[in-house]
Structure 1
Amino acid sequence: MTYSKAAGQAPGKRERLATAAAQVLHEQGVERTTLADIARAADVPVGNLYYYFKTKNQLVEAAIDAHARNLESMTAELDALPTPRERLKALLAGWVGQRELTVRFGCPTGTLAAELDKRTDGLDESVARLMRALIDWAEGQFREMGRADARELAVALIAAYQGISLLTNTLRDPDLMTAEGARLARWIDSLA
């Protein structure tokens, strides 16, 4: 089925549902979230939801796609900064800036990845591609800094963030994220 250009509203509702799915899944998790929860968050009647998404898995996939669009937008903004060091440190600052959200719900992508990893329906691979895209972007920054070990540094950076997100959430302590962000910024500065 294709969307009619005359309708105009179809792409808007679909995107609202995907964005709402990303938010509600982050806050409640995949298993606890119902289609009605997502429809309510998107301000779309539940019956209309089925026009766009036939299954919960399709909505989860749409949420992953919404995360991917957010990542693309974020990295495009970061890429406007003049140096890779500034880009990486701005990434850290963005993470630290969302520490209160992390305290409540963890990392949006990391928590989704952990939950979907226990499934065998292909959604685990979809979220893995998203995580890989972030690592690839960070690798490009380290490579631009002249580092031969760019991949290892990128993995270390993302692993440090995922680890501190887990601890920040588990211990409900935003100061952990602040301290680790500062440490990682010093680490980036120390790389010649």
Structure 2
Amino acid sequence: MTDSTESRSPRAKAAGKRQRLTAATARILHEQGVERTTIADIARAADVPSGNVYYYFKTKDELIEAALAEHTRHLEALTGELDQLPDPRERLKGLVAAWVAQRDTAARYGCPTGTLAVELDKRTEGGLDLAAGRVIRGLLSWVERQYGLLGAADPAGLAVALVGAYQGMSLLANALRDPEIMTREGARLVREIDGLS
């Protein structure tokens, strides 16, 4: 028996198609925004016939929820990898390095979760803005935990400052189309983390 597409079970094929749609939604929403993105755009990006999208997701809001879940998975994968580092200071610096590594994407489109959160906040229904906030709260909690392990005096405040700095540098890099803002600000954040006693 082989692992070819033909030999996979219908359930595995459906899960693969759903995952492609989820990943495509996260990417296309980041690149185009919620209002400019159509179901057809997502289907095309996922290489799925447009009509099939509704088999997996009944509404555009369900697709947005799936994209937010994708952002959560990416965050959990990143922090899980960083948690393998023995020192919380190195974990925080690793987080900053991951942000800086995405500088070209940030300069083009901004922060994936931050821009989505801002856009969803403009909508009057659905509560998806709160779902986006939960993704950001997950990041804040992880960062606060690292500062706490370092014995820092206001780990919650430092977490807000660090994540806020990331959102700010992403916004400025995007608005000015200058990825080097991320590089310079990332270096400054690393110096601040190194300077913690």
Alignment TM-score > 0.5, same fold:
yes
Which of 53, 69, 73 in structure 1 is aligned with 2:73?
A: 69
Q: Deviations over 1:64-117 (max 9, x none)?
A: 000001111010000001100000001101111110111110010111011011
Q: Counterpart amino acid of 1:24?
A: I
Cα distance in 2 for residues equivalent to 1:79 and 1:49 = 36
Q: Counterpart amino acid of 1:176?
A: I
Q: Counterpart amino acid of 2:92?
A: L
Amino-acid identity (%): 62
Provide the aligned length of Structure 1 versus Structure 2: 188
What secondary structure sits across from 1:92 in the alignment?
A: helix
Per the normalisation by structure 1, the TM-score is 0.96
What secondary structure sits across from 1:7 in the alignment?
A: helix
Aligned equivalent of 1:178:
183
Which of 28, 33, 36 in structure 2 is aligned with 1:24?
A: 28
Which of 181, 185, 196 in structure 2 is aligned with 1:191?
A: 196
Structure 2 residue 61 is matched with structure 1 residue 36: no
Q: Alpha-carbon deviation of 1:166?
A: 0.4
Q: Alpha-carbon deviation of 1:174?
A: 1.1
Which of 103, 107, 120 in structure 1 is aligned with 2:107?
A: 103
Structure 2 stretches lacking a partner, 5+ long? 1-8
Per the normalisation by structure 2, the TM-score is 0.93
Q: Alpha-carbon deviation of 1:7?
A: 3.1
Cα distance in 2 for residues equivalent to 1:164 and 1:127 = 19
Q: Counterpart amino acid of 1:43?
A: D
Structure 2 counterparts to residues 46-125 of structure 1, below 5 A: 46-119=50-123, 120-125=125-130
Structure 2 residue 134 is matched with structure 1 residue 129: yes
Structure 1 stretches lacking a partner, 5+ long? none
Aligned equivalent of 1:149:
154
Cα distance in 2 for residues equivalent to 1:108 and 1:31 = 15
Q: Deviations over 1:26-62 (max 9, x none)?
A: 0000000000000000001111100000100000000
Cα distance in 2 for residues equivalent to 1:83 and 1:123 = 35
